[in-house]
Structure 1
C-alpha cells in the first residue's frame, strides 16, 4: 500500500463551496467505480477554508498515468471533472491545466 496526499483550492465563495460539498455527498456509483478500478483503495477529502486535501491509499496496480488514461476514456468522469472545475481553482504553484498537486511528505512518526 502506498499513500499520496494532494492539495487543491476551491473558488473562495461560501455558496460555491457549499455546492461542491453537496456534489460530494452524492457521488455516483459510476464515478466511485472509476476510482476503485484505478487501484485507489481509500480516498478521503478534507477542507480547511477553501483549501482541499486529498489522501489516497493505492494498491500496486495504481499509477497516475493509468488513472489519467482511464479518466480520459470515461465520458462520465469527463462530465464530473468538467463540473468540478467550476468550483476548483489551481494552486499558485500549479502548472498550466494542473488541478490536484501531489504534496511532499516532510515528516513521519
Structure 2
C-alpha cells in the first residue's frame, strides 16, 4: 500500500460548483476509483488560499497502468470535463502533472501501533 497526496488550486468563482459536483460523485466514477486500486480517497478545501488537497491509498501493483486505465475511461473523461474547469494547476508542478504530487514526510496510524495483550 502506498499513501499519496496532491495539491491544486481551485478557481474562486468555481468553489460552489466543485463542492456541488463532489457532494454527488457519479457512481461510475466511484466504481472506477475502486477498480483502479484507490482507497480512502479524500479531497480537502483550504480557503481563502483556494487550494484543494487530495489524499488516498494505492493498493495495486502497477500504478502507471491503473492511472492510464482511469484516464482512458470515457465516463471519467466526461467527469473531468466538469471538474477540470474548476481547477487551477500550480505553476510549480512537475511536467505531466495536473495535480502537483506531494512527498509524504510523516504518517502515524494509531491503530497499527496499538498492541493487544491478553492476560
Q: For 1:11 and 1:62, how far apart are their aligned partners in 2?
A: 32
Are the equivalent residues in 1 in contact too, given 2:37–2:58 (CA < 8 A)? yes
- Count of residue pairs the alignment pairs up: 106
| 1:60 paired residue number | 60
| 2:89 paired residue number | 90
| 2:76 paired residue number | 77
| 2:101 paired residue number | 102
User: Residues 32, 108 of structure 1: CA spacing in aligned structure 2 closer, same or farther, 3 A cutoff?
Assistant: closer
| 1:26 paired residue number | 24
Q: For 1:83 and 1:32, how far apart are their aligned partners in 2?
A: 16
User: Which 5+ residue runs of structure 1 have no aligned equivalent?
Assistant: none
Specify the SS of the correspondent of 1:93. Answer: coil
By how many angstroms is 1:68 displaced? Answer: 2.8
RMSD: 1.7
Q: For 2:107 and 2:71, how far apart are their aligned partners in 1?
A: 34
By how many angstroms is 1:73 displaced? Answer: 2.6
Q: Does 1:7 align with 2:7?
A: yes
Which range moves more in the overlay, 73-82 or 96-105? 96-105
TM-score where L is the length of structure 1? 0.86
Poorly superposed stretches of 4+, deviation over 4 Å: none
User: Which 5+ residue runs of structure 2 have no aligned equivalent?
Assistant: 109-119
TM-score where L is the length of structure 2? 0.79
Find 1:48's aligned residue among 46, 49, 72: 46
